[in-house]
Homo-oligomer: A and B are copies of this chain.
Amino acid sequence: VVGAGDTGRGWAALCVAAGWPVVLFDSMGDAANNAPDDVMKRARNLVDLGRANAGELETGMSAFTVGRSLLHATTDATWIIECITEDLITKQKLFENLESVAPKARLVTSSSTALGPKDIAARCRRPDRVLVAHPINPVELIPLVELVPGPGTDSALVELLKGWLRALGRVPVTIRKATPGMVAGRIAAAVWREAIELVLTGVIDVDDLDRAASVGPALSLAAAGPHLTYHLAAGKEGATGHLQRMLVSFERSWSQLAKWEKLEPDQQQRIIQAIQAAYADKTEVLRAARDRRLAATLRAMEQARQG
């Protein structure tokens, strides 16, 4: 794992908890210095939440090391996960360097949210092993990983990566065109913009909005994505008739949705104040409760899938 920020620590915690041998490296010594404790804490938390197995965690923890250099960290790696800063030139240089220091790696994946694999691999002579594999925060808990293969990516290696990701309990999906925020980020951005608008226009309070989003649309969507929900609702009426009837109310809502693309400084202050008023002073209790709900929900969905 190259890059020991929040995303890199999440990937490392996930792999350590699965018993995989992880080397974490960060060119900024500072991040790497604090990182091991945090990785261990997050990996252990997966066991506490019933998301990982104590024996595998032990194996992963005893194999975990911090790399002294890029060469030392990656030269024997089978899979290199890049999680460095979101800057194209810096990423291009890193991927170019990896060709000489880590020729044996089967896959080199970028966790980039906004950059495409073609640009990231622009200086590589071997783009076949390069693609974007974008996780969602908290990385070790949310199963989705968005894969963006480039024009030069070897499709057999994409399948290999999917197998590794599934072994880690991840759910890979394929993005056919890189777009800022990918798919999950665009959906989250649409939700959060609307959530800000609804509070700032006085429709609902912060805590009621969060409760509504959680036990309303989020539950529906967790059980079935938007298109499947629509498909199941159409029923015997048939898709076209049902869609036309539904569009009347959807178009009424679409015309109400927030349109702004920037949050002005005074809006930023108002929403921050509203959120602080709702949640400040109980952050750690709320975080533990969120993690419990997330772990319980993940477990329930996996069991329902197998059932």
Contact = CB atoms under 8 A, between A and B. Distances in A.
Most B C-beta atoms less than 10 A away, residue of A142, A210, A278: A210
B220 A198 contact: no
Contact of A275 (B219, B231, B301): B231
A29 interface: no
A253 interface: yes
A221 B224 contact: no
A166 interface: no
A208 to B, nearest CB: 4
A125 interface: no
A179 B197 CA distance: 12
A164 interface: no
A222 B209 CA distance: 12
Interface in A206-259: 206, 208-233, 239-240, 243-244, 247, 249-257, 259
Query: Dominant SS at the A interface?
Result: helix
Contacts of A206: 227
Classify chain A: how many residues form its interface, as a range.
35 or more
Contact of A296 (B186, B290, B303): B303
Contacts of A171: 211, 215
Interface of A: 86, 113-114, 136-137, 142-144, 146, 171, 173-177, 179-181, 183-195, 198-199, 201-206, 208-233, 239-240, 243-244, 247, 249-257, 259-263, 268, 271-272, 274-276, 278-279, 283, 286-287, 289-301, 303-305, 307
A217 B243 contact: no
Contacts of A304: 289, 292-293, 295-297
